[in-house]
Amino acid sequence: MKLRLSILAITLLIAGCGDGNEITQPPPAVGGTSQSGGEQGGNGSTTSGDNNTQLSSTQAIEKIVNAQGMEHATELDLSVFSKAEFSCIKDNNLEAVKGYLINTQDKLNHKELQTRLCKVAELYALGSKQRLTFSLLKEVGIKGLSGSDGKVNDWAMDELMLGAPEQAFEWAKLQKLVDDFHYNQANIWPKQINISFDDGGALESIYQHLPLFDKYNATFTYYVSHYFLIDSEKVAEIAAHGHEIGHHGTTHKHAKDYVEKNGLQKWLEDDIFDSLSAMKSDGLDVTSYAYPYGAYTRETDTELKKHFSHIRKFASWASVNYRGERSDRPITTGLSIDAHRFNLDKIRHAIDTLKGGETLYLATHVIGKTPNEWYITPENLEAVLKYAAEKGLKFCHTNECMNFKSK
Ligand SMILES: [Zn+2]
């Protein structure tokens, strides 16, 4: 039995060597895994150990310093680090350290590099994702986590945290997560716009202007209030036209005030559930909600998240600043483009400076003049649609805006 196993093992070995050169190739440049890489490192130290034992301490240091940003860093084995007195490099973190050396763009001197490599080893052994702080990541030389102003780029940090393993933090893999984020933002993720209209009273004007949206291949979200009072067939037609129908309160209550006076449950019953179930039973796919008056509390946010995938707030102050926001957020703010706030230059600027993965959320009410200021003229609406279409923005429903990564 033993003999047969040995023969089999030898046969496999021979077959393996003859089949190709995968076995003798170095590990991949980025993120060589510690398990497979570790073994290769071990083998390396026995085969190339003869050369390295000849090295003086100065030569060993030079060899490590010169390996920064170089593929040949894979050839370094533990004996070189030992000879150079980089004592925090051990068998168990050797691959992570080599991953750093291959991929870094920094050119540090001996002492700086020694400190850096010890930090890289410390990072690898950190043990908990919660301890991956911005300052530590900066200390180990991870690039792209802050802007030119030095401020933390929260989104880059979030992407790193999202993709990082629970432990064994290899420098090269973390750096790749940040690099991927910047690449996706610049090249892959769409620049998006979501235009929304609020209130049951806007129904007729929206319905009449459907051809305007068709002209620019644009979609919008219509947040309906007073569903029980308005023409539900027209709402269904708008949905059938490819637009999104959201919820905007059964009778348009001020969530904050109503909850304060009557409690959360009563608010849910009186202003959320009735119309929501009516719309759903009419076949409308309602997954978004916009607060009447933009009024909310932390408590209402938490509660609404159980019933909607997206919640829209509302900003309508004199100096409203148009700009895109991260598309991956379930709670967003619609920036008023109502008559008294509308500023085409500012909107165009926001469109021009939008980044991949961001959505510009614009919100208004009736299309066409009303006695108050809560409307947008068809001309102004068309100017926005035209500019957004010319700039190649993607018009998105809120759930599409959020799921932009899967496109
Ligand atoms: Zn409203």
**392 occurs within a structural domain:** yes
**Chosen domain end from 158, 187, 216:** 187
Q: Which of 156, 187, 218 is the last residue of a domain?
A: 187
Mean pLDDT by 10 residues, the chain (407 residues): 41 35 37 38 42 82 97 95 95 96 96 97 94 95 94 96 95 97 97 98 98 98 98 98 98 97 97 97 97 96 97 94 96 97 97 97 97 97 98 95 86
What separation in Å is there between the alpha carbon of 202 and the centre of ligand 1?
Answer: 10
pLDDT for the residue 55: 87
Whether residue 15 lies inside any domain: the answer is no
236 alpha carbon to ligand 1 midpoint, in Å? 20
Is 203 found in the same domain as 182?
Answer: no
Q: Would you state the pLDDT for residue 399?
A: 86
Q: Are residues 307 and 222 in the same domain?
A: yes
Asked if the structure places residue 284 within a domain, the reply is yes
Q: Is residue 159 part of a domain?
A: yes
> How far, in Å, is the centroid of ligand 1 from the Cα of 346?
24
- Residues, Cβ < 5 Å to ion ligand 1: 198-199, 292
The answer on 96 and 53 residing in a single domain is yes
- Within this chain, do residues 287 and 361 fall inside the same structural domain, yes or no? yes
Looking at the fold, whether 180 and 235 belong to one and the same domain comes out as no
Distance 224 CA to ligand 1 centre (A): 8
Q: What's the gap in Å between 290 CA and the centre of ligand 1?
A: 8
Residues 178 and 294 placed together within one structural domain of the fold: no
CA–CA dist 258, 268 (Å, integer)? 10
b (16+ CB within 10 A) / e for 272-309: beebbeebeeeebebbbbbbbebbbeeebeebbeeebe
C-alpha span between 344 and 323 (Å, rounded): 13
Closest Cα to residue 159, out of 141, 137, 139? 137
pLDDT at 406: 79
6 lies in some domain: no
CA of 193 to the centre of ligand 1 (A): 20
In a domain, 305, yes or no: yes
The reply to whether 57 and 168 lie within a common domain is yes
* 216 plus 180 within the same structural domain: no
CATH number of the domain that 342 lies in?
Answer: 3.20.20.370
200 CA → ligand 1 middle, Å: 8
Q: Is the dihedral of CA 42, 48, 49, 52 positive or negative?
A: negative
Q: Do 98 and 152 sit in the same domain of this protein?
A: yes
Is 265 in the same domain as 394?
A: yes
Q: Are residues 131 and 56 in the same domain?
A: yes
pLDDT of residue 6: 42
- Domain boundary, last residue among 153, 187, 221: 187
How many structural domains comprise the chain?
A: 2
Distance 147 CA to ligand 1 centre (A): 37
Q: Is residue 3 assigned to a domain?
A: no
Give distance in angstroms: CA of 334 to centre of ligand 1: 12
Distance from residue 253's CA to the centre of ligand 1 (Å): 9
For residue 373, how far is its CA from the centre of ligand 1 (angstroms)? 13
How would you classify residue 330: left for phi > 0, otherwise alpha for psi between -120 and 50, otherwise beta? Answer: alpha
Q: What is the pLDDT of residue 51?
A: 59
> How remote is the CA of residue 36 from the centroid of ligand 1, in Å?
60
pLDDT given at position 407: 58
User: What is the Å distance from ligand 1's center to 14 Cα?
Assistant: 76
Tokens found for residue 149? 């102003």
- 153 with 220, same domain: the answer is no
Rounded to two decimals, the pTM is 0.82
Is the residue at 11 inside a domain?
no
Helix (H) or strand (E) holding 46: helix 34-47
* Structural domain boundaries enclosing 97: 20-187
